[in-house]
Amino acid sequence: MSALLIRGARLFDGDTWRDDAKIAVVDGRFVPAANVPAGAEVIDAGGLLVVPGFIDLQVNGGGGINFNDEPSVPTIERICAAHARFGTTALLPTLITDRRETRTAAIAAGKAARAAGVPGFLGLHLEGPHLSAAKRGVHAAAYVRPMEEADIRELLGVLSDGGPTMLTVAPETTPIDAVQRLAAAGGIVSLGHTDCDYETALAYIAAGATTATHLFNAMSPLGHRSPGMVGAVLDSGISAGLIADGIHVHPAAARIALRAKRGPGRLFLVTDAMLTIGTDLPDFELNGRTIFRRDGRLALADSTLAGADIDMLSSVRYAAEHFDIGFDEAIRMATVYPAEAMRIGQRKGRVAHGFDADFLMLTKDFDLKSTWIAGAKVYSA
């Protein structure tokens, strides 16, 4: 049995702040302080903040490698470790549109990573290849294609493992009955990279889609006569990821969206991070094309954005400062809301009895001191 007691911290549990808190962990889960056995490790955290660990549902890479480059367990380990340095304790390695055999390898890697218990690995996000050609963004045109029955069977096989899985699809290339089948099997079906109209989006939401991928980006915009995919997200109960780097979405648009969003779904933060996180690497290759890293921006030579060059801690800071929501709500957007979107809100995203002991220790200036996953320290600044 492993046991830990943290004393004296200012705790944000996902709902409210508590001063001089006692935070207890036994065998990787939070327990009431009274339940900590004798001989537990005791940490004095006076002067520090403790918050839930961040959850990132769209991570293309980190630590110098993208998931597409080499979909394997070592790659997943490297990406998770890179993002733990910035407070992310659970993430979905994201495979963007690629060859069929690359997706098959990614699926096998995800299954093996789950079996191995890789710290920080939550599940897979398969973003494409079933996207709209008109809104494919940086996704390689040669690999964008309609979903076929063989694809559905392969994806149902992923979902049969029982781990959290997000699937980004576009109505233009994905049959509506496929969404019904994938959602019924437990998949988190996310609408993205689509030019569909408002009515079509609502039909796919009714069929089982519950999230949308990077709101505003690569989707039909909100018009006063044609609400588009953006309008469907804001006017329905689904959740949606939002990139908070000041490049993908203007802060005014984010503020408007946050005020307009109808529940029960929420907007949550995603990084859409590429391999640059945790490195000083300059340009890199993606599907045979050069991605240029300039002033916090990743893009092709024609200025098409190619993921993001931001970590989750920086995203939370940016949202708190520029979205008029403050740190409490910004933290929820990186913890509580993504956990709810993935239907794991009963075990992750909060510091509460029975939850996984994923948490961060921060200074009062919101600088990271340490990252903990299942009660074990995985990074110390």
CA dist., res. 365 & res. 261, Å (int): 30
DSSP string spanning 102-125?
Answer: HHHHHHHHHHHHHHHT-TTB--EE
Whether the upstream peptide bond of residue 129 has omega within 30° of 0, thus cis, is yes
Buried b (16+ CB within 10 A) or exposed e, 222-233: beeeebbbbbbb
- The continuous run of DSSP H or E covering 206 comes out as helix 198-207
Residue 17 CA to residue 11 CA, distance in Å, equals 5
Length of the chain, in residues:
381
As a whole number of angstroms, the longest Cα–Cα distance in the chain is: 66
Residues carrying an active site annotation? 272
Measured in whole angstroms, the distance separating CA 155 from the mean position of its chain's CA atoms is 19
Determine the 3-state secondary structure of 25 from DSSP: strand
φ, ψ of residue 138 to 5 degrees: the values are: -80, -10
